[in-house]
Structure 1
């Protein structure tokens, strides 16, 4: 069970606590008036929308925490981190294909990482929680939180899309 205590952390301490999974993401999304979308994403419209209750029935509690409440799974806890077969990673909330296995790499961070998403698969927005500025990555179709993108990845893009495995499913490429 994830603790919901409030901690005041900033900068490096917050990043370290979040990365180790010791502190869950505390800045949770507020729900917009429609009861379907997070308030900060209310300006964005998504093709797939559900009420909070519907999301809870469609997702496991851990998936719900990551996709709908911007939680972060513990590093090295996802089987998708060690998935090396050819195939496609899709959103666990709406099944939109997000990443090709051809762009996956081992970032040694404990989360599945990719150097580029599939075309028109993800959206981004600024995330200023914990007193730092990061770029949050979400599913373009349902708005589900996937992870963050950083500028310390490999060539050719130099980007590292650091994704929560709980936010995705994997479909192997047919042999």
Structure 2
């Protein structure tokens, strides 16, 4: 993973917009079923904050939860994890290892081969099709 990305609060707000800032910098959550418009073609989901490659289209699945779900990250070192005890429950939060942007959570109820469900806020992702510009 490349060097850490740091920005001022104003730079993050300009990069991410209002909802993206709330989700990625304040650990918010977007409403479910608000990002069902991602293409179905082969490609890579990248961090909306820094462009780091995070997930492959081939690992995406419909969990029926209303957020993009993946069975695994593209690279283990691209995703960081921390304990999240907010909202009266304990969950494992996932964030971009490069910019520390909040992505969502990972749960142990996913399909094979990993049994994991990376439940990710769509606003935290940018999709780049294979063969597309970097």
Report if TM-score (shorter chain) is over 0.5. Answer: yes
Question: What SS does the aligned partner of 1:111 have?
Answer: coil
Highest RCO, 1 vs 2 (Cα 8 Å, sep ≥ 6): 2
Unaligned runs of 5+ in 1: 1-45
Structure with larger Rg:
1
1:174 CA drift (Å): 2.5
Give the TM-score of the pair, scaled to structure 2.
0.91
Matched positions, count = 129
Paired position in structure 2 for 1:52: 9
How high is the TM-score relative to the length of structure 1?
0.71
Q: 2:26 aligns with which of 69, 94, 99?
A: 69
Is 1:170 matched with 2:127?
A: yes
Structure 1 residue 64 displacement after superposition: 0.6
RMSD of aligned C-alpha atoms? Answer: 1.4
Q: Confirm whether residue 89 of structure 1 aligns to residue 49 of structure 2.
A: no
Structure 2 equivalent of residue 134 of structure 1 = 91
Q: Which runs of 4+ in 1 moved over 6 A?
A: none
Structure with the higher fraction of residues in strand conformation: 2
